[in-house]
Amino acid sequence: MAFLKTQERTKERFSLLLLDLEEYYFEQHTANHMTSSSKKERKIRGSFKVCSRSIIFDPEDLTEPILKVLLRDCKKIEFVEGENNPFNEPRPPAISITCGQVIYIKESNVIAPHRNERGKKKIMFQLEVWSKTEDVVQTLLQLHRASCLEKLGDQTAMIEANLQSRLARSSFDKNCFQNVAEKPHMECAVEMVMPLVSNPGHVCITDENLYFQPLNGYPEHVIQIKLHRVRRIYKRRHGLRPLGLEVFCTENDFCSDIYLKFYSTADRDEIYYYIATFLENHITEHTAESYMLQWQRGHLSNYQYLLHLNNLADRSCNDLSQYPIFPWVIADYTSRQLDLTNAATFRDLSKPVGALNKERLDRLLARYRGMPEPRFMYGSHYSSPGYVLFYLVRVAPEHMLCLQNGRYDHADRMFNSVGETWKNCLEGATDFKELIPEFYGIDCSFLENKLSLDLGRRQNGSLVEDVVLPPWASDATDFLQKHRTALESQYVSEHLHEWIDLVFGFKQRGSEAVAAHNVFHPLTYEGGIDCDSIEDPDQRIAMLTQILEFGQTPTQLFSSPHPQRITPRFHNITRSSSITSPVSELSPASQSEDSSFEDLTEESRKLAWTNMGNLTLVSSHKIHKEAVTGIAVTRDGAAIFSTSQDSTLKMFSKELKEFQRSMSFSNMALSSCLMLADGKTVACSSWDNNVYFYSIPYGRRQDTLMGHDDAVSEMCWFDDRLYTASWDSTIKVWQCASDGSSSHRRCQFELLAELEHDAGVNTIGLNPAGTLLVSGCKDGTVTIWDTSSYETLQQVHCHTGTIHHTAFSPDSRHVLSVGADSCMKVIDVQTGMVISSVTPEEEQRCFCWDGNSVLCGGQSGDLLLWDLLRNTVTKRIPAHSGAVTAIWMNDLCSTVITGGEDRQIIFWKLQS
């Protein structure tokens, strides 16, 4: 768990959480606390710690309490000269502190609320290194002056000057390098950020390691991270400024290995790009869109996807004002059994928590309408440091004590019951909080009082102990298991995108947020206020403190509706069943009782794409005089037809391994060819504005369709309908009379529709069901059409140049396009969102794909196998000596034929 990471580094009883918020720990000295009782002097050995607003003494004897004296409570700080005793032995000098209050912490070594003892007190400390006593007194007097300044802004400025002076006088100790041959790249002053606290020091990055050396040597002398272990890095917005950098050595954990806050954005960016450059050959930087594609296709769980979105949206477990946010997904905390097949079990994910209760929402809206600008619907946020610690107080009690000045919250306001908390989120006037990742993890300690903390007694007389769980959970482990199962359930998978729209997406702000009843205080939004523009230091600090404590809305990741997940249906569930099994045991029925041939074919395709890197060249044949533009194959695979810019249609015999026929329809280039449904006719499109129909049995041209005012670029055929695309900026849809005849005369084609575009149409494609049509234009626009109504469903300008090829995924959820701008774009059909953008090393001309992997032909002539989910090339296969211009694949994906600018067609076989 995030809160335990720092404590794991040290066995010390002292923690930075003993400091006040925004306070620094500067230095420590071994010392004795001098006490006297019954005329007998007693020495308590320990660590004397100088902090920016307090003095802390941590005794070695764990039965003794830690002492804390706030510098503002000090009346006098003196250097006391040591006197010689009767034997003429020198006595050490001492630090004398007269104060009005002493705070006692961890008495009897128990984590409990701090005890404040008021009244005039005089306490004495003797440093073991006598010579440092006078310097320490001078430091304390300087910090005391700062703490007594009237204005908070002046206090902060003086302490900051002290800190920067200390950092400037020190530097990273290069003797800490793991290897004498390491080459340092840069070092600078930074702060290591942890929940509620930060620790100043120096960062140094070399060609092998990232080091952080704390100014005070806490929690250890140096922290080292090997660069080759780094898996993810994120720039962070810290304190509303772009100064943070977080480094992860894991792929799916939400706890980072280090979070650094820099004093300048330039320093932060230099180290970020140095690490990013180092990682280029090791890992791929993911975007929200690339994670979305993986999640949509089932390669990421709901839990993993939400973690990645939180990371990308500046949420970090090291920053409690921006802690990762997870949704409430269950609405039933009263039943004895949890029915995950019943929609009523789940929370409505299309609404924010504040809008789940209509009566409360009506009251909030009435107040909202009468409010002056800037208006907001909710006076509190769904995530804040207080809410995070509300959930985690049992595992992070010291954090709660730090946040609340040494006290726990009132017992009745604690996290006592999951059901009560949900009820209050539905009905409370100011409670709109969501959950945190721990509710879907495997560590249930935050639900149990394993530390035996005294968290108080409720009004009904009961002690605050373990969290009361719903009746359907047998214990905390069972609760988390079922909660995880609910998060990965069919219902949540189908509706999670609606919650993402609210928290990370297009309903986060603006008119869409108003319509969704999702408007929070303006200060919670990124860019809501520029604290640096507030001239008064006190006002600026107060405003920043308010923002950090109130909560912050995540960085907006999506500006258009988030696509729905592609989820398998639970076909076999016909009755309600109580969920008792973990996620790993819950598997949807993917096949009906009698597995069909289609199922087997689909499995074969999946297996083929898994092995696509084993594509082997069978034979190559140069049968054209110019670039190949199209490939069509008869059903039995015996005859292969190809078109070329040399204006010819050629027929190649696979059995005889030679071309047998050649047909020229005009003196202009042929742009594509396709096999009609009868298996006896090949249609060829031409730059002379016509479509030609070639009869295979008769070996001659049968008909000509003069349909366009410019070159016909590509064609599609489905269910007796021909779709022709042209550089005249139109697609035309033709109905073919199905009279059973093998000849197709001009009069048998009826023009059904003409689809207008703003630029020449270069490529078109149909989805497998023939219900959707996609077109790619010379101006870089992709348009998706409904083939029943001929209406535009989506229009996306996603390329900066001509689109060479575009096609639907087999499940019709996505469209892939490649263009002259050397980009590959994946578009979500439902929302029109570009969910993945890949920039290959070279321009791609044509491709086949299964939704996850792409076999594409590039300008260099090589075939590239792309893993779209990871944005990486997994295989490069040398093929043509010029650009690959045409590609064909059979239904089982076992045979591939390519054509290129080198005038060749090449046959490929997939080796199992």
- Residue 61 amino acid letter: D
**261 token code pair:** 């806050």
Q: Establish if 10 belongs to a structural domain.
A: yes
Q: What is the pLDDT of residue 583?
A: 35
Q: What is the pLDDT of residue 447?
A: 97
Asked if residue 38 has pLDDT above 50, the reply is yes
Find all residues with CB under 8 Å of 869, minimum gap 6, and list them: 290, 293, 294, 297, 299, 852
CB–CB of 329/302 below 8 Å?
Answer: no
DSSP notation for 312-339 = HTT--TT-GGG---B---B---S-SS-B
Chain position carrying tokens 């010029």: 882
What are 523-546's pLDDT values in tens digits? 888 876 766 667 777 777 777 777
CB–CB of 827/814 below 8 Å?
Answer: yes
Q: What is the pLDDT of residue 450?
A: 95
Handedness of CA 370, 373, 379, 383 (dihedral sign): positive
Claim to verify: residue 605 and residue 666 sit in the same structural domain:
no
* pLDDT tier for residue 838 given thresholds of 50, 70 and 90: confident
Beta bridge partners of 101: 118
What are 639-676's pLDDT values in tens digits? 999 999 999 999 998 777 777 899 999 999 999 999 99
Q: What is the pLDDT of residue 591?
A: 35
What are 484-502's pLDDT values in tens digits? 999 999 999 999 999 999 9
Claim to verify: residue 676 and residue 792 sit in the same structural domain:
yes
Q: What is the pLDDT of residue 83?
A: 66
CATH of the domain at 682: 2.130.10.10
Q: What is the pLDDT of residue 678?
A: 84
Q: What is the pLDDT of residue 538?
A: 72
Q: What is the pLDDT of residue 745?
A: 46
CATH of the domain at 615: 2.40.10
What are 5-16's pLDDT values in tens digits? 544 444 578 999
Q: What is the pLDDT of residue 545?
A: 74
Claim to verify: residue 675 and residue 779 sit in the same structural domain:
yes
Task: Provide the terminal-to-terminal Cα distance of the chain, rounded to the nearest Å.
Answer: 45
Asked if residue 743 has pLDDT above 70, the reply is no
Report, as an integer, the average pLDDT of 50-55. Answer: 96
CA geometry: angle 52, 58, 62, nearest 5 deg: 155
CATH of the domain at 181: 2.30.29.30
Closest C-alpha to 563, from 872, 798, 826: 826
* pLDDT tier for residue 748 given thresholds of 50, 70 and 90: confident
Claim to verify: residue 23 and residue 129 sit in the same structural domain:
yes
Closest C-alpha to 230, from 288, 276, 189, 183: 276
Q: At what angle do helices 302-312 and 490-503 cross, to 10 degrees?
A: 10
Q: What is the pLDDT of residue 371?
A: 93
* pLDDT tier for residue 276 given thresholds of 50, 70 and 90: confident
Strand ranges, E, within 360-425: none
Total domains, the chain: 5
Judged by phi (left if over 0) then psi (alpha if -120 to 50, else beta), residue 217 lies in left
Q: What is the pLDDT of residue 582?
A: 34
Q: What is the pLDDT of residue 281?
A: 58
Claim to verify: residue 392 and residue 471 sit in the same structural domain:
yes
DSSP state at residue 661: E
Asked if residue 597 has pLDDT above 60, the reply is no
DSSP notation for 591-655 = S-SS--HHHHHHHHHHHHHHTGGGEEEEEEEE--SS-EEEEEE-TTS-EEEEEETTSEEEEEETT
Choose the final residue of a domain: 167, 192, 226.
167
Rg value, the chain, Cα: 35
Residue 468: Cβ-neighbour burial (10 angstroms; 0-12, 13-18, 19+): middle
Q: Establish if 584 belongs to a structural domain.
A: no
Report, as an integer, the average pLDDT of 246-255. Answer: 85
Q: What is the pLDDT of residue 430?
A: 92
Q: Helix, strand or coil for residue 143?
A: helix
CATH of the domain at 403: 1.10.1540.10
Q: What is the pLDDT of residue 870?
A: 80
* pLDDT tier for residue 744 given thresholds of 50, 70 and 90: very low
Q: Mean pLDDT, the chain, as a whole number?
A: 89
What are 86-143's pLDDT values in tens digits? 555 677 899 999 999 999 999 999 999 999 999 999 999 999 999 999 999 999 999 9
Q: Helix, strand or coil for residue 229?
A: helix
Which domain does 693 fall in, by range?
629-848
Q: Establish if 383 belongs to a structural domain.
A: yes
Closest C-alpha to 184, from 202, 167, 199, 169: 202
Claim to verify: residue 252 and residue 336 sit in the same structural domain:
no
Claim to verify: residue 729 and residue 853 sit in the same structural domain:
no
A 10 A CB-CB count for 738 gives 11
* pLDDT tier for residue 479 given thresholds of 50, 70 and 90: very high
Report, as an integer, the average pLDDT of 242-257. Answer: 88
Asked if residue 827 has pLDDT above 60, the reply is yes
* pLDDT tier for residue 366 given thresholds of 50, 70 and 90: very high
* pLDDT tier for residue 309 given thresholds of 50, 70 and 90: very high
Claim to verify: residue 75 and residue 87 sit in the same structural domain:
yes
Q: Establish if 803 belongs to a structural domain.
A: yes
Q: Establish if 62 belongs to a structural domain.
A: yes
Beta bridge partners of 127: 31
Q: Establish if 454 belongs to a structural domain.
A: yes
CB–CB of 752/735 below 8 Å?
Answer: yes
Choose the final residue of a domain: 801, 819, 848.
848
Q: What is the pLDDT of residue 1?
A: 55
Q: Establish if 585 belongs to a structural domain.
A: no
Q: What percent of the chain has pLDDT over 70?
A: 91
Choose the final residue of a domain: 796, 818, 848.
848
Asked if residue 303 has pLDDT above 90, the reply is yes
CA geometry: angle 294, 297, 298, nearest 5 deg: 85
Q: What percent of the chain has pLDDT over 90?
A: 74
Measured CA to CA, the distance from residue 215 to residue 201 in angstroms comes to 4
Claim to verify: residue 533 and residue 605 sit in the same structural domain:
no
Claim to verify: residue 184 and residue 254 sit in the same structural domain:
yes
* CA 876 to chain CA centroid, nearest Å: 29
Q: Residue 854 is inside which H or E element, if any?
A: strand 853-858
DSSP notation for 716-784 = EEETTEEEEEETTSEEEEEEEP--S-S---GGGEEEEEEEE-SS-EEEEEE-TTSSEEEEEETTSEEEE
Asked if residue 598 has pLDDT above 60, the reply is no
Q: Establish if 546 belongs to a structural domain.
A: yes
Claim to verify: residue 151 and residue 186 sit in the same structural domain:
no
Measured CA to CA, the distance from residue 867 to residue 877 in angstroms comes to 15
* pLDDT tier for residue 85 given thresholds of 50, 70 and 90: low
Asked if residue 599 has pLDDT above 70, the reply is no
Q: What is the pLDDT of residue 404?
A: 92
A 10 A CB-CB count for 441 gives 16
Chain position carrying tokens 């908070």: 152
Q: What is the pLDDT of residue 679?
A: 87
Claim to verify: residue 839 and residue 862 sit in the same structural domain:
no
Measured CA to CA, the distance from residue 165 to residue 186 in angstroms comes to 20
Measured CA to CA, the distance from residue 275 to residue 209 in angstroms comes to 10
